[in-house]
Amino acid sequence: MTAAEFLDDAEVEIPCPKCGKESKQTVGRLKNDPKLTCPHCRFVFHVEAKQLRELLRKVNKSLDDLPGKR
């Protein structure tokens, strides 16, 4: 598995801008289709590129914090 594939499989929590509840999505799914429907209130919204970059930064930081990482 490549690093890109690994990141695409990483799950992130996306907050709904309307109700504030979070839903889990994979990075790959968000890269392919940033349009989401909140499973709680059914509000349709888009994950902005800036928000996706921030999520990727958090995933990368989590990977860097793994034990045994040098």
Contact 47, 30 (CB under 8 A): yes
From the list 6, 55, 59, 57, the residue with the least C-alpha distance to 34 is 55
Q: Is 46 helix (H, G, I), strand (E, B) or coil?
A: strand
Which residues are registered as beta bridge partners of 46?
35
pTM: 0.72
Asked whether residue 68 carries a pLDDT value surpassing 80, the answer given is: no
pLDDT in tens, 32-46: 999 999 999 999 999
pLDDT in tens, 14-66: 999 999 999 999 989 998 999 999 999 999 999 988 888 888 888 778 777 87
Sign of CA dihedral 28, 29, 32, 34: negative
Extract the runs of DSSP E, i.e. beta strands, from the chain.
11-15, 22-26, 35-37, 44-46
